Amino acid sequence: MDASELVEALVAGNRRALARSITHVEADSAIGREVLRQVYPRTGRAQTVGITGSAGAGKSTLVGALAREQRKRGRTVGIVAVDPSSPFSHGAILGDRIRMQDLTGDPGVFLRSMASRGNLGGLSETATGAIDLMDAAGFDVVLVETVGAGQDEVEVATAAQTTVLVANPGGGDEIQSMKAGLMEVAQIMVVNKADLAGADTAVAQLRALLAIANLQSWTPPILKAVARANEGIEEIVDAIDLHQAHVRSAEHADAERQRHVRGQIIDLARAALHREALEAAERSGSLQALVDSVAARERDPRSAALELLDGLRRSWASSNDFDA
Amino acid sequence: MDASELVEALVAGNRRALARSITHVEADSAIGREVLRQVYPRTGRAQTVGITGSAGAGKSTLVGALAREQRKRGRTVGIVAVDPSSPFSHGAILGDRIRMQDLTGDPGVFLRSMASRGNLGGLSETATGAIDLMDAAGFDVVLVETVGAGQDEVEVATAAQTTVLVANPGGGDEIQSMKAGLMEVAQIMVVNKADLAGADTAVAQLRALLAIANLQSWTPPILKAVARANEGIEEIVDAIDLHQAHVRSAEHADAERQRHVRGQIIDLARAALHREALEAAERSGSLQALVDSVAARERDPRSAALELLDGLRRSWASSNDFDA
């Protein structure tokens, strides 16, 4: 099937066409890029929700509970799992897979796990693409599960409209460390495992961090949940609905859409630039010469890095294969 | 003081010159860059050790214990804390600061905390610079504490010769998720808080992951410790010494140095490229035009990102301010 046929089948609800399209996007193939280009005008209908937080915070269980609650509300759900420890992804623990069986057997749910493609930033490109494909395929809700608070995860979070940050009681150190990355990009905070001691302290810590955060028109609610026992889940879905209504409201839609699109373009440009720069440097052989001279302490790594970039610019300046 | 004066004073052991130089590097000033260029030939003597792992793994306590053990062995210690939750850094909890007082009062210890400079990759540039400055200032050991397993942290880890990965018992999910980032860049694994239940399971999980990792000439030891009670610390310092002997051995020194320098150059080039590309895009106004057309769904974010890069290349091609 070529790109147009895939898009036609995918938009008509064909699951195999959707799965195949995601595979093309993961491989960064020409068909994958063309499919993404063609489906883009059909996106924007789905609620896209990122779920992030440290490994062990209970994100997978929460994603499962949110998916079930969304199904109860009559909505279809696409799930993208980019957390390598997630039971939704390939490194699954059998027990977890069994707990997820009601979801994987439900025709109103589509699950896709995503390998982290190493350090080149491919994760956000692929996850953004998978979200768009599920959106165009007609899913009412797309949940994206990711892990951690590094650059990759912030980018994946940026790919969704609503980001839910999952913390735990007793994670004081962890909550402190969130300042660095995710506080500014999360729209809903959840203290999961709230039946454990210290839940109220965790809520208070999050509240203190929010008080000093640079908030725009939306103030993130801080909710308690016990995802394992399905407690607090309705409230989270209600909060997601509220945030979605906010980003789509006449008053805020333009600014929110600009913010979201700007983040996406910058992240995708950055990822492409990474890959291209590294490939060009390896190909030209200039990297090896620089490595040799720094290894001999003839020059320092910083000036070598700048020279590498100058070489790259020069090669771009002398080539004329600009596509646009 | 100009760069040469700073370097002279720093190499002579002047702490204020060291502190001031690090401030220049953090600000990415011309003096900072010149200081780094001048000190580089004087680096390479110190043991540089990165300590990484999730928030709450006990990294700060371990860094404190390692510093005390190194002091017992008669070595001076520089500490760079880039973990926002570290008691060494500005967001300190009072109790932790008090526990560290014996270190901060010791003239053989130099502490420097480092603000995470946001998402532009500046962290690894600054941390690499601070390590080089402490090395040139004559510290026998430089410990770098960082958090998490994202891109930034992998880069900071790459900046040190020996990276120690800290995990905890009961962190099964967490250990699973390490596959993605840090297994390949860590040379020593520590299960801290090993007096808690599940320590042997955590060791077994790490061993299983190592068995499938792509190891080179060094096999990372997996050690148990209770940093809080100073248990297992001597063994960790012994393992660091062993790894340092390995990377400096006649057989491995060249390959290790090439690997280390290559990682540094690529990371520094990537960080500089990020910053430059974003600045150029904002300046040219082309970003806003692209954001508008994607927001209107006239084009998709991926092709907008590629066009942004083309514009950047074209502006480089038409300018002639290449410094080299």
Let me know whether A92 and A220 are in one domain: yes
Please name the member of B262, B292, B305 whose beta carbon is closest to the beta carbon of A272: B305
Specify whether A135 is located in the same domain as A201: yes
How many CB atoms within 10 Å of residue A124? 26
- What residues contact B177, with CB distance under 8 A and at least 6 apart? A55, A83, A84, A85, A147, A148, B149
The minimal CB distance from B303 to the residues A37, A304, A317 is found for A37
pLDDT at residue number B52: 83
pLDDT value of position B180: 46
**Cα pseudo-dihedral B294, B297, B299, B301, rounded to 10:** 50
| Chain A from 29 to 58: CB within 8 A of any B CB | 33, 36-37, 40-41, 43-44, 54-56
The answer as to whether B87 is a domain residue is: yes
pLDDT at A142: 96
State the pLDDT at residue B91.
40
CB B202 within 8 A of CB B168: yes
* pLDDT tens track for A70-91: 999 999 999 988 755 455 544 4
Residue B11, pLDDT score:
96
Rounded to whole angstroms, the Cα distance separating B267 from B249 reads 25
- Cβ B36–A302 below 8 Å, yes or no? yes
For B225, the 3-state DSSP assignment is: coil
Poorest-pLDDT segment among A10-24, A154-168, B4-18, B85-99? B85-99
pLDDT at res. B56: 72
Q: Residue B3 above 70 pLDDT?
A: yes
Q: Is the pLDDT of residue A218 over 80?
A: yes
**Dihedral sign for Cα atoms in the order B246, B252, B255, B261:** positive
Please write the tens of the pLDDT for every residue from A298-311. Answer: 888 888 888 888 88
CATH of residue A79 = 3.40.50.300
Averaged pLDDT for residues A140-151:
76
Q: Pick the residue with more confidence: A81 or B5?
A: B5
Domain boundary among A200, A225, A250: A250
Q: Would you say residue A79 lies in a domain?
A: yes
Number of domains within chain B:
3
Contact criterion met (CB < 8 Å) for B272 and A304:
no
The per-residue pLDDT for A71 is 96
pLDDT at B227: 94
Structure tokens at B286: 């082309």
Residue B273 and residue B224 share a domain: no
- The answer, for A316 touching chain B at a CB cutoff of 8 Å, is yes
User: 10 Å Cβ neighbour count for A288?
Assistant: 13
Please say which residue of B248, B274, B291 terminates a domain. Answer: B248
* A142 shares a domain with A36: no
Distance CA B295, CA A263 (A): 12
How would residue A192 be classed by pLDDT, with cut points 50, 70 and 90? very high
Give me the residue label for tokens 């063994």.
B235
- For residue A93, CA distances in Å to A85, A88, A98, B200, B236 come to 9, 9, 9, 19, 31
Tell me what pLDDT residue A322 has.
44
- CA nearest neighbour of B76 among B120, B47, B109: B109
**Does A318 have pLDDT greater than 90?**
no
One domain for residues B28 and B98: no
The reply to whether A61 and A96 lie within a common domain is yes
Cα R_g (chain B), whole angstroms: 21
DSSP string, B41-92: GG-S-SEEEEEE--TTS-HHHHHHHHHHHHHHTT--EEEEE--TT-TTSTT-
| B268 contact A CB<8A | yes
Establish if B91 belongs to a structural domain.
yes
Long-range contacts of A292-301 (CB under 8 A, 24+ apart): A292/B258, A294/B261, A294/B264, A294/B265, A295/B254, A295/B257, A295/B258, A295/B261, A297/B40, A297/B41, A297/B43, A297/B44, A299/B37, A299/B40, A300/B36, A300/B37, A300/B40, A300/B132, A301/B40, A301/B128, A301/B261, A301/B264, A301/B265, A301/B268
A256 and B CB contact within 8 Å: no
Q: Is residue A260 part of a domain?
A: no
User: Are both B36 and B55 inside the same structural domain?
Assistant: no
Nearest Cα residue to A147 out of A202, A101, A85:
A85
Cβ pair B300:A276 closer than 8 A: no
Give the Cα separation of A178 and A276 in Å (integer).
Answer: 31
> Using CA atoms, how far apart are residues A75 and A98, in angstroms rounded to an integer?
23
Whether residues B133 and B36 fall in one domain: no
Q: Are residues B55 and B138 in the same domain?
A: yes
B228 and B175 both lie in a single domain = yes
What pLDDT is stored for residue B322 in this prediction? 44
3-state secondary structure of B224: strand
Residue B175: pLDDT over 70: no
Domain-located, residue B199: yes
The reply to whether B156 falls in a domain is yes
What backbone torsions phi and psi does residue B144 show, to the nearest 5 degrees?
A: -120, 120
User: Does residue A64 form part of some domain?
Assistant: yes
- Can you read off the two tokens belonging to residue B279? 């600045």
pLDDT in tens, A32-69: 989 999 999 899 899 999 988 776 788 888 999 999 99
- 10 Å CB burial of residue B236 (0-12, 13-18, 19+) is buried
Say what the pTM is.
Answer: 0.68
Phi, psi dihedrals of residue A9, rounded to the nearest 5°: -65, -40
Show the domain range for B81: 44-248
pLDDT at A230: 95
Query: What's the pLDDT score for residue B16?
Result: 94
**A221 occurs within a structural domain:** yes
Nearest C-alpha neighbor of A59 from the set A130, A123, A177, A146: A146
Q: For all residues of chain A together, what is the average pLDDT?
A: 81
- Which range is least confidently modeled, A283-287, B43-47, B247-251? A283-287
Pick A313's closest partner by Cβ from B262, B302, B316: B316
Tell me the Ramachandran region of residue B125: left when phi exceeds 0, alpha when psi lies from -120 to 50, beta otherwise: alpha
Report the percentage of chain A scoring pLDDT > 70.
Answer: 80
Q: Tell me, yes or no, whether A303 and A166 share the same domain.
A: no
Instruction: Report, as an integer, the average pLDDT of B267-295.
Output: 80
Contact B253, B218 (CB under 8 A): no
| Residue of A83, A211, A220, A86 lying closest to A152 (CA atoms) | A83
The mean pLDDT value for B176-198 works out to: 77
pLDDT given at position A100: 67
Residues A76 and A139: beta-carbon distance below 8 Å: yes
Percent of chain A predicted with pLDDT > 90: 35
pLDDT in tens, A224-244: 999 999 999 999 999 999 999
Q: What is the pLDDT of residues A78-125, one digit of tens each?
A: 998 875 545 554 444 434 544 566 787 888 999 888 765 443 345 677
Q: Pull the structure tokens for residue B283.
A: 């300046």
Q: A302, A308, A312, A316: which to substitute to probe chain B, counting the most B Cβ within 10 Å?
A: A302
Q: A150 pLDDT band (50/70/90 cuts)? A: low
Average pLDDT for residues B171-198, to the nearest whole number? 74
In this structure, are A28 and A73 located in the same domain?
no
Please say if the pLDDT value at position B90 is more than 50. Answer: no
- Confidence band, pLDDT 50/70/90 cuts, at residue A191: very high
Whether ipTM exceeds 0.85: no
Q: Given a cut of 80, is residue B114 above it in pLDDT? A: no
Tell me the mean pLDDT in the region A290-294.
90
B-chain CB neighbours of A55 within 8 Å are 54, 171, 173-174, 176-177
Output the pLDDT for position B118. Answer: 43
Q: Report the candidate in A105, A123, A139 with the shortest Cα–Cα distance to residue A10.
A: A139
Chain A to chain B Cβ contacts (< 8 Å): 244
What is the structure's pLDDT at A178?
56
Arithmetic mean of pLDDT, B272-279? 76
Distances from the Cα of B210 to the Cα of A296, B118, B141, B182, B214, angstroms? 32, 32, 27, 11, 8
Confidence of residue A270 (pLDDT cuts 50, 70, 90): confident
